[in-house]
Amino acid sequence: AKLEPSWDNVYANVLAYWDAIAPCMDNWLRLDDEAQVRAYAPLIKKLTDPGYFERFRYMPVSRDLTRGQRALLYNFLNGTA
């Protein structure tokens, strides 16, 4: 969460792992594409919301998103430092 919310930090510390374990997602969302991730920001925030944890479509499927990773991701998606 203390990292700068840059694309490089978000991809390396949050999205790269998801991209590797769920490559089937790239038929609707390419996690290695910054423009697509930004375009799908509202949906990504919904699917990673802690309240959504028990639902089938929760991201990531491994259920291992930490608070710090979520904060970094949301700071990036919200465009905040």
Which pLDDT score, from 0 to 100, does residue 30 have?
86
Inside any domain, residue 17:
yes
CA dist., res. 56 & res. 2, Å (int): 30
Mean pLDDT for back-to-back runs of 10 residues, the chain (81 residues)? 93 89 69 92 88 69 81 91 53
The sign of the torsion formed by the CA atoms of 57, 53, 18, 6 equals positive
Domain span holding position 13? 7-78
Inside any domain, residue 36:
yes
Number of structural domains (the chain) is 1
| Identity of the residue numbered 6 | S
| Identity of the residue numbered 19 | D
State the pTM of this model: 0.81
Check: CB of residue 66 under 8 Å from CB of residue 50.
no
Q: Which of 26, 58, 28 is nearest to 45 (CA)?
A: 58
Inside any domain, residue 37:
yes
